[in-house]
């Protein structure tokens, strides 16, 4: 998994080429990312986790809900690699199924927050004036609503569903994203290259997507890597209150919170889910850092 | 301090074999390479050089203001009045800073804390070194310090905040702060670069007067030789971290020995040189015509402290009151003509150029490009007219998108306006790059990999890419070094002539305008007060303001 990609050789052997090709920021970023071993390791690890999550129903060694009360909690063994929980359910299987929920909530809710937040913030910051005032006061008002009540109301009105949970979390998290993006856009908006782009006759939409957003990617990526773990924990919290995932289904957050209860007797119940979550978050952070550096031409050595 | 002045054989500041390196990702860079110089009491010593020559670094090291790491003082000695500054600990350094050696910085806009009143900042400077003074005495001292630098009504001014002062006034406050503790040495790092010529002249007079009165030594850092000649007794020229020449000021200017000094002196477009090109009168209609144009901004709001929510909600729907900054500007630009637009900052010259570019809305009047009135045109017409109208901005560090390679930057206008067929775009980009004097290998690079002059070349290439008819150059060289200035100006001139373009050249540098422009317009407080052929304007200025402006220009 940690193998170095073979395409790493001479991605920028430009010095001897006579016909110089132009390349876009994304092409450059990809070649720079490929040189970052840590980020690539993170990328491979995340891909591996996602692949496992997708294949879980076919490859899981046991059923996630069948209880075996005779067995109780047992430590790791050949039959149960990561041991079993207090109901005698295979922990590996439960971590695999839990990963489906946690990764999905992490990525879907963050994607919702990312799309709404970036668009909202970018438009408010770019247009400015009254539009900005109205849009950002809307954000302030939404901020003031207690989000627990908001989510409970959603659950009551629309019934409990996994997708709704993702959307609800996303709808809460985009507010901060919008604020961060809006502030950054205000700074970029004042730069002369934006005026130069307007003077060139580019459309505002083109300017926002090509000139503004690429220049605020750094903070966005950092915030995304912070948001993913926080929504995973938020999901665990909601599930704990009975608003999210219901037993016998599980998620990493839930596994950990149950593991905490019996930490002293059955330490493996917290060690393994905790380790998987930590490793995933590590991988995410390395990838995020790598992406941020790769997308910033100034950060590269060549 | 002031008594023990003349005939002191020992220099006030003695720098010996100073070597400073920077540890960067690209390896070790020597910023200051074994530099030695002395500053005597009561002397104004100027350090001249281009950006990156190490002039600021060497002075920052005197006050231990360098960020360490990456900077490292490899060797050398800095002795100030018998004290070895490099051996000083932090506490001792603090006693010297601001008390015996003071400093004023280049940009008065950012070197004052915007959240503290002028008075509290001045008092802070006084209290940190003269703790024995009581409140009343300290305040009196602050008032007299402001008086000394020529600020009227100092008592009221003390309560005001930096944003209530103009740039020149802020620099005066900075000088007052620097001098309030009666230092022996004042380090001035390009103190007037950010200011207008007339204000610059006032600040110089002030510095000279204070220097004569207090007999302090001034270490004056500048890239502007004309300024240095006006002010300094002695000068040293730095290049790439080394002192290449030093000497008494008149001798240095009259008889420069080192080739670099000669190059620097030659690079100044001297006011005496008459422009070779004359105003072309032909009967063709003008390319660009500006008629009775007035431009205003929404008036600045009152402080936010008293705003009620209901008022705020109402203000969203109310039309803000307008503050007019350009009054009824009139001029016409012929094809192939270069029109200079000069004036102090805040006179509205950049606003006017923004309005011509359709970046700022006009209040009244008309701006016609090729007989099409743009002020009343629809969006589509304006967007297509942008092809004929391009702008080069002052600061090449902010006018290029840092996340776009040169290739992308130049590809964008070509694609947008479909200048050449798709297959020829690549060749066209290479041709543009070549035309502005960059190499084909450069197209893959990003803006930060270029120097200021090279960046401005990219900006010029971007403006030329759409094959415009009119180019507005908004102080295109004022952010660049003198020798680079000359190169970029000549490139601009050559390209404008080759493509038969018209250009509006906005500048505060009158000697550059004289060198370049066919006609010159002078703006003051939003009005064009004088518009004439350049030579006529410079030789026989009609308006009082033009005369003041010309008189303030430091010349060699």
The tokens describing B278, both together, are 């004359």
- Residues of chain B contacting residue A134, judged by C-beta atoms under 8 Å apart: 316
Q: What is the ipTM of this complex?
A: 0.74
Smallest Cα–Cα separation from A91: which of A279, A259, A285, A263?
A259
| pLDDT tens figures, A103-134 | 988 888 899 899 999 999 999 999 988 899 99
- What is the token pair recorded at B111? 């070197």
Within 10 A of A81 (CB to CB), how many other CB atoms are there? 13
Q: What is the nearest CA distance from A183 to chain B, expressed in angstroms?
A: 18
Interchain contact, B401 vs A211, CB within 8 Å: yes
In chain A, whose CA is at the least distance from the CA of B356? A199
The residue of chain A nearest to residue B413, with distances taken between CA atoms, is: A200
- Nearest residue on chain B to A130, alpha-carbon basis: B316
Mutation site, B297, B383, B396, B401, interface A, largest A CB count within 10 A = B401
The secondary element (H helix, E strand) that includes residue B138 is helix B135-148
Structure-token pair, residue B456: 């401005």
% residues pLDDT > 90 (chain A): 22
Instruction: Give phi and psi for B347, each to the nearest 5.
Output: -85, -10
Of residues A15, A25, A199, nearest to B386 (C-beta): A199
Q: Which residues does chain A have within 8 Å of residue B449's beta carbon, measured at their own beta carbons?
A: 297
- pLDDT on residue B497: 82
- Comparing A7-11, A44-48, B450-454, the range with the smallest average pLDDT is A7-11
Residues paired with residue B521 on neighbouring β-strands, in sequence order: B341, B531
- A191 in reach of chain B (CB within 8 A): yes
The partner residue sitting opposite A192, judged by closest CB among B26, B395, B413, is B395
Specify the 3-state DSSP secondary structure of B155: helix
Put the strands of the sheet holding B364-369 in their side by side order.
Answer: B322-333, B288-298, B364-369, B372-373
Rounded to an integer, the average pLDDT of B216-238 is: 84
DSSP character string of B385-440 = HGGGEEEE-S-TTTSS-TTS-HHHHHHHHHHHTT-S-GGGHHHHHHHHHHHTT--G
- A29–chain B Cβ distance below 8 A for any pair: no
Which chain A residues are Cβ-neighbours of B430 within 8 angstroms?
20
Condensed to tens digits (0 to 9), the pLDDT of residues A212-234 reads 998 998 889 989 988 888 888 88
Q: Contact B407/A23, CB-based, under 8 Å?
A: yes
- Cβ contact B446–A195 (<8 Å): no
Backbone angles phi, psi at B28, to 5 degrees: -85, 130
Residue B35 Cα distances to B39, B78, B241, B262, angstroms: 13, 11, 8, 21
* DSSP 3-state percent helix, strand, coil across chain B (nearest 5): 40, 25, 35
The predicted structure's pLDDT at residue B277: 54
Closest approach of chain A CAs to the CA of B380, in angstroms? 10
User: What is the predicted pLDDT for the residue at A16?
Assistant: 36
Contact A195 B389 (CB under 8 A): no
Please tell me the distance from the alpha carbon of residue B474 to that of residue B375, in angstroms, as a whole number: 21
A196 vs B: CB within 8 A: yes
Mean pLDDT, chain A, whole residue set: 82
Which tokens hold the place of A277?
């979550």
A132 min Cα distance to partner chain B (Å): 11
Task: Please tell me the distance in Å from A14's CA to the nearest CA on chain B.
Answer: 8
Within 8 A of A25 by CB-CB distance, chain B residues are: 403-405, 408
Q: Within an 8 Å CB–CB cutoff, is residue A70 touching chain B?
A: no
**CB B176 within 8 Å of CB B145:** yes
- Residues of A within 8 A of B417 (CB-CB) are 201
Contact list, A209 vs chain B (CB under 8 Å): none
CB A88 within 8 A of CB A55: no
Across the interface, do B393 and A210 touch by the CB < 8 Å criterion? no
**B389/A298 Cβ within 8 A:** no
Residue B262 pLDDT greater than 70, yes or no: yes
pLDDT digit string, tens, across residues B362-392: 888 888 888 888 888 888 888 888 888 899 9
Nearest to A201 among B407, B417, B430 (CB): B417
Quick one: closest CA in B to A14, which residue? B441
pLDDT above 90: residue A21: no
**Angstrom distance (rounded) from CA B497 to CA B280:** 13
Copy the structure tokens of residue B130: 């003269």
What are the Cα distances from residue A74, in Å, to A34, A195, B334? Answer: 43, 67, 91
Q: DSSP readout, A198-237?
A: HHHT--HHHIIIIIIGGGGHHHHHHHHHHHHHHHHHHHHH
Q: Which range has the worst mean pLDDT, A53-62, A100-109, B282-291?
A: B282-291
Shortest CB distance from B401 goes to which of A14, A215, A295? A215
Q: Residue B243 contacts by C-beta under 8 Å, 6 or more apart in sequence?
A: B35, B36, B37, B236, B237
B92's tokens? 């001792």
In chain B, which residues have their Cβ closer than 8 Å to the Cβ of A210? 404, 412
Contacts of A298 in chain B (CB under 8 A): 402, 446, 448
What are the pLDDT digits (tens) for B512-541? 888 888 889 998 888 888 888 888 888 888
pLDDT at A199 over 90: no
CA B466 to CA B425: how far, in whole Å?
Answer: 12
Can the peptide bond before residue B69 be classed as cis, meaning omega within 30 degrees of 0?
yes
Write out chain A residues lying below 8 Å of B400, CB-based: 193, 196
The answer to whether residues B202 and B195 touch, using CB atoms and an 8 Å cutoff, is no
The full length of chain A comes to 302
| Residue B412 vs residue B278, higher pLDDT | B412
Contact (CB, 8 A) for B464 and B437: no
Digit-coded pLDDT (tens) for A291-300: 888 888 776 5
Residues of chain A found within 8 Å of residue B459, distances taken between Cβ atoms: 196
Nearest by CB to residue B413, choosing from A14, A200, A301, is A200
The per-type count for chain A, helices as H runs and strands as E runs, is: 12, 0
Q: Bigger pLDDT: A81 or A112?
A: A112
3-state secondary structure B241-307: CEEEEEEEHHHHHHCCCCHHHHHHHHHCCCCCCCCCCCCCCCCCCCCEEEEEEEEEEECCCCCHHHC
Predicted TM-score (pTM) of the model is: 0.75
Tokens of A297: 């031409």
**Contacts with A212 (C-beta within 8 Å, 6 or more apart), sequence order:** A122, A126, A185, A188, A189, A194
> Å from A197 to nearest chain B CA?
9
Helix, strand, coil percentages, rounded to 5, for chain A: 70, 0, 30
Average pLDDT over residues B65-91: 79
Contact A22/B390, CB-based, under 8 Å? no
Chain centroid to CA B56: 16
How far does the CA of residue B411 sit from the closest CA of chain A (Å)?
Answer: 9
Q: How far is A193 from chain B (nearest CA, A)?
A: 4
CB B38 within 8 A of CB B211: no
- DSSP designation for B466: T
In this complex, is the C-beta atom of A130 within 8 Å of any C-beta atom belonging to chain B?
Answer: yes
Contact call for residues A94 and A255 (beta carbons, < 8 A)? yes
Answer yes or no: is pLDDT of B419 > 90: no
Spatial neighbors of B556 by CB under 8 A, at least 6 apart, are B225, B226, B229, B253, B265, B268, B270
Q: Does A127 touch chain B (CB under 8 A)?
A: no
Each residue's pLDDT tens digit, B331-344: 888 888 889 998 87
For residue B478, the tally of other CB atoms under 10 A from its CB is 15
Asked if A22's CB is within 8 angstroms of B411's CB, the reply is yes
pLDDT of res. B67: 75
**Contacting residues for A24 by C-beta, under 8 A, at least 6 apart:** B405, B408
Q: Do A199 and B359 touch (CB under 8 A)?
A: yes
Contact yes or no for B404 and A25 at CB 8 A: yes
Tell me, letter by letter, the H, E, C secondary structure of A74-100: CCCCCCCCCCECCCCCEHHHHHHHHHH
Residue B325 to residue B408: CA distance in whole angstroms: 36
């Amino acid at each position: 998994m940690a193998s170095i990609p073979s395409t790493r050789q001479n991605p920028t052997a430009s010095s001897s080429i006579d016909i110089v090709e132009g390349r876009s920021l994304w092409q450059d970023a990809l070649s720079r990312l490929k040189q970052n071993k840590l980020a690539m390791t993170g990328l491979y690890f995340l891909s591996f986790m996602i692949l496992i999550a997708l294949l879980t129903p076919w490859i899981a060694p046991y059923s996630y809900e069948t209880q075996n009360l005779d067995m109780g909690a047992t430590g790791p063994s050949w039959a149960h690699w990561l041991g079993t929980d207090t109901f005698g359910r295979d922990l590996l299987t439960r971590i695999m199924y839990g990963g489906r929920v946690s990764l999905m909530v992490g990525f879907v809710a963050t994607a919702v927050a990312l799309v709404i937040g970036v668009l909202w913030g970018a438009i408010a910051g770019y247009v400015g004036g009254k539009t900005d005032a109205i849009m950002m006061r809307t954000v302030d008002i939404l901020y003031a609503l207690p989000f627990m009540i908001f989510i409970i109301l959603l659950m009551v009105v629309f019934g409990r569903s996994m997708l709704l949970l993702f959307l609800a979390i996303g709808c809460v998290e985009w507010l901060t994203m919008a604020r961060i993006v809006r502030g950054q856009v205000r700074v970029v908006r004042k730069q002369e290259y934006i005026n130069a782009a307007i003077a060139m006759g580019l459309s505002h939409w083109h300017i926002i997507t090509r000139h503004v957003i690429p220049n605020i990617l750094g903070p966005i990526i950092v915030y995304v890597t912070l948001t993913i773990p926080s929504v995973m924990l938020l999901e665990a919290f909601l599930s704990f209150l009975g608003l999210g995932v219901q037993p016998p289904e599980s998620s990493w957050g839930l596994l950990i919170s149950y593991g905490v209860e019996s930490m002293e007797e059955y330490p493996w119940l917290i060690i393994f889910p905790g380790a998987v979550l930590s490793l995933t978050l590590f991988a995410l952070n390395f990838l995020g850092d790598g992406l941020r550096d790769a997308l910033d031409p100034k950060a590269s050595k060549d | 301090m002031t008594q023990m002045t003349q005939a002191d054989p020992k220099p006030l500041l003695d720098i010996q074999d100073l070597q400073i390196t920077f540890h960067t990702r690209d390896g070790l860079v020597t910023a200051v390479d074994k530099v030695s110089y002395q500053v005597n009491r009561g002397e104004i010593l100027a350090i001249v050089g281009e950006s990156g020559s190490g002039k600021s670094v060497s002075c920052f090291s005197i006050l231990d203001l360098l960020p360490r790491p990456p900077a490292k003082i490899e060797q050398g000695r800095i002795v100030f009045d018998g004290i070895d500054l490099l051996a000083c600990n932090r506490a001792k350094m603090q006693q010297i800073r601001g008390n015996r050696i003071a400093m004023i910085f280049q940009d008065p806009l950012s070197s004052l804390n915007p959240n503290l009143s002028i008075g509290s900042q001045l008092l802070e400077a006084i209290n940190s070194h003269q703790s024995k003074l009581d409140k009343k005495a300290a305040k009196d001292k602050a008032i007299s310090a402001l008086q000394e630098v020529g600020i009227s009504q100092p008592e009221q001014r003390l309560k005001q905040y930096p944003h209530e002062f103009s740039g020149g006034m802020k620099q005066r406050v900075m000088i007052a702060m620097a001098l309030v503790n009666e230092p022996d040495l004042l380090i001035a790092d390009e103190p007037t670069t950010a200011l207008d010529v007339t204000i610059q002249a006032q600040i110089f007079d002030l510095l000279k007067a204070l220097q004569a009165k207090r007999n302090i030594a001034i270490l004056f850092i500048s890239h502007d030789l004309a300024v240095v000649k006006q002010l300094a007794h002695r000068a040293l020229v730095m290049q790439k971290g080394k002192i290449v020449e030093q000497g008494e000021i008149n001798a240095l200017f009259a008889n420069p020995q080192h080739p670099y000094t000669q190059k620097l002196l030659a690079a100044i477009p001297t006011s005496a040189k008459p422009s070779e090109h004359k105003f072309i009168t032909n009967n063709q209609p003008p390319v660009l015509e500006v008629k009775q144009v007035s431009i205003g901004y929404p008036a600045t709001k009152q402080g936010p402290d008293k705003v009620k929510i209901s008022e705020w909600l109402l203000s969203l729907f109310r039309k803000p009151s307008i503050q007019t900054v350009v009054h009824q500007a009139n001029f016409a630009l012929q094809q192939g003509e270069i029109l200079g637009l000069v004036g102090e900052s805040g006179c509205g010259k950049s606003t006017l150029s923004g309005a011509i570019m359709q970046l700022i809305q006009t209040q009244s009047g008309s701006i016609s490009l090729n007989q099409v009135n743009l002020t009343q045109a629809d969006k589509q017409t304006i967007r297509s007219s942008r092809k004929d109208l391009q702008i080069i901005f002052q600061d090449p560090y902010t006018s290029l998108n840092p996340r776009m390679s040169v290739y992308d930057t130049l590809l964008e206008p070509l694609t947008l306006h479909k200048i050449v067929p798709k297959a020829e775009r690549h060749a066209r980009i290479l041709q543009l790059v070549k035309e502005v004097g960059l190499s084909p290998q450069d197209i893959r690079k990003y803006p930060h990999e270029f120097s200021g002059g090279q960046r401005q070349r990219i900006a010029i290439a971007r403006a030329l890419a759409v094959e415009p008819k009119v180019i507005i150059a908004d102080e295109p060289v004022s952010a660049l070094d003198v020798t680079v200035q000359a190169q970029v100006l000549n490139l601009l001139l050559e390209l404008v002539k080759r493509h038969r373009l018209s250009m509006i050249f906005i500048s505060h540098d009158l000697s550059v305008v004289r060198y370049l422009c066919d006609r010159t317009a002078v703006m003051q407080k939003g009005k064009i007060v004088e518009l004439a052929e350049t030579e006529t304007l410079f030789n026989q200025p009609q308006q009082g303001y033009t005369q003041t402006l010309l008189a303030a220009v430091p010349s060699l």
